[in-house]
């Protein structure tokens, strides 16, 4: 199945369902899949135990990892290989601003600017939203050990950071999706409605709030 959007990014806070949706969209559109690999970060489990001590090492590892992925992606002919990713490179700064001290953040920003100056721009960003209690339920359900230590306060601040970031986002077409009352993975009607919405998007900001409970 061909599709007008050659580079789609699915984004949102921890537990919102980015990877599951990215996998499903990639299968539907026949696009290659570009996934962040949090499990490869050797500092992440320690970060959730002691954020202050491991914040900088965790963020720098993610930054280098994602930059390498995007640079590899840039070498691919977009006319031959379309992609769907479950991360936007700019997300690193959102996490950095939440977890790093002012001195660490200054160092991080210098490195970020140097490494991501040529990062490709998506054709479409799908921003998934959900309240903290829904994020918590999903984190518990998927059962990743280190994630169970994430505090609700951190999830709240992270969600607010995403909201502020996408409030002014205009680098590409943006589709904001309310996932609290929408089951994009298990409800075929909800998922098809999302596909139909994506097919209509050319530019600008759009909102999707299909409710499976209204079927």
Q: Which residues are designated catalytic?
A: 86
Q: Residue 65: which of 49, 89, 85, 45 has the closest Cα?
A: 89
**What is the rounded CA–CA span in Å between residue 133 and residue 156?**
10
**Which are the contacts of 49, defined by CB distance < 8 A and separation ≥ 6?**
146, 149
Both tokens of 129, joined, read 């939203």
Q: Residue 177: which of 212, 136, 149 has the closest Cα?
A: 212
- The strand ranges marked E within 12-147 are 32-34, 83-85, 124-129
162 and 47 Cβ atoms separated by less than 8 Å: no
Both tokens of 70, joined, read 């995007």
């Amino acid at each position: 199945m061909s599709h007008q959007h050659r580079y789609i990014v699915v984004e949102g806070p921890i537990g919102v369902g980015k990877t599951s949706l990215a996998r499903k969209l990639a299968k539907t559109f026949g696009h290659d899949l570009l996934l962040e690999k949090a499990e490869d970060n050797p500092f992440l489990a320690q970060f959730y135990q002691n954020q202050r001590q491991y914040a900088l090492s965790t963020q720098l590892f993610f930054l280098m990892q994602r930059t390498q992925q995007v640079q590899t992606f840039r070498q691919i002919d977009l006319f031959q290989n379309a992609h769907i990713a479950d991360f936007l490179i700019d997300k690193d700064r959102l996490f950095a601003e939440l977890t790093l001290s002012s001195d660490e953040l200054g160092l991080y920003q210098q490195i970020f600017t140097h490494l991501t100056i040529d990062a490709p721009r998506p054709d479409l960003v799908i921003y998934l939203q959900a309240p903290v209690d829904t994020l918590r339920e999903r984190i518990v359900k998927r059962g990743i050990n280190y994630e169970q230590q994430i505090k609700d306060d951190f999830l709240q601040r992270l969600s607010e950071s995403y909201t502020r970031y996408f409030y002014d986002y205009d680098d590409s077409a943006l589709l904001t999706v309310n996932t609290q009352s929408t089951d994009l993975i298990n409800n075929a009607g909800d998922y098809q409605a999302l596909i139909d919405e994506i097919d209509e998007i050319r530019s600008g900001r759009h909102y999707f709030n299909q409710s499976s409970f209204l079927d």
